Amino acid sequence: LAPLATQAQQHWQGAPLAVLVVNNPGDAKATVVITRQKMSTLSSLQPGLMYQGVTGERLAAYGDDPSATAVTRGALYGLHLAHFADPWLRALFFLCGLSGYLMVASGALLWAVKTRQKEAKAIAGGARASFGLRLVEALNIGAIAGLPIALATYFWANRLLPLELHQRAQMEINLFFAAWAVAAVLAQVRPDLRMWRLQLGLGAALFIGLPLLNVFTTQSHLGVTLLLGRGPWPVAAFDLTVLALGIALAMAERVLARRQRKRQDGLQAAPAKSRVERDPVEETA
Domain count, the chain: 2
The reply to whether 130 falls in a domain is yes
In eight-state DSSP terms, residue 2 is H
The reply to whether 278 falls in a domain is no
**Given this model, what pLDDT does residue 169 score?**
92
Residues 63 and 97 in one domain: no
**Given this model, what pLDDT does residue 285 score?**
32
Residues 131 and 26 in one domain: no
Cα dist. 249→32, 176, 181, 275 in Å? 46, 18, 20, 40
End-to-end CA distance of the chain: 100
232 preceded by a cis bond (ω within 30 of 0): yes
The reply to whether 279 falls in a domain is no
**Given this model, what pLDDT does residue 281 score?**
33
**Given this model, what pLDDT does residue 248 score?**
95
Residues 160 and 135 in one domain: yes
The residue from 31, 50, 78 where one domain ends is: 78
The reply to whether 173 falls in a domain is yes
The reply to whether 37 falls in a domain is yes
Ranges under pLDDT 70 in the chain: 267, 269-285
Residues 74 and 89 in one domain: no
Tens digit of pLDDT for each residue in 232-271? 888 898 999 999 999 999 999 999 999 888 888 776 766 6
Tens digit of pLDDT for each residue in 196-210? 999 999 999 999 999
The residue from 78, 107, 137 where one domain ends is: 78
Residues 98 and 70 in one domain: no
Residues 90 and 160 in one domain: yes
Residues 189 and 116 in one domain: yes
Residues 110 and 31 in one domain: no
CB 239 within 8 A of CB 185: no
Q: Which pTM value belongs to this model?
A: 0.73
| CA 182 to the chain's CA centroid | 16
Residue 62's φ and ψ, nearest 5 degrees, are: -140, 150
Which residues form the domain of 24? Answer: 2-78
**Given this model, what pLDDT does residue 122 score?**
83
The answer for 253, left when phi > 0, alpha when psi is -120 to 50, beta otherwise, is: alpha
Angle formed by the axes of helices 87-118 and 131-140, nearest 10°: 160
The reply to whether 281 falls in a domain is no
**Distance, CA of 61 to CA of 36 (rounded, Å):** 11
Residues 166 and 40 in one domain: no
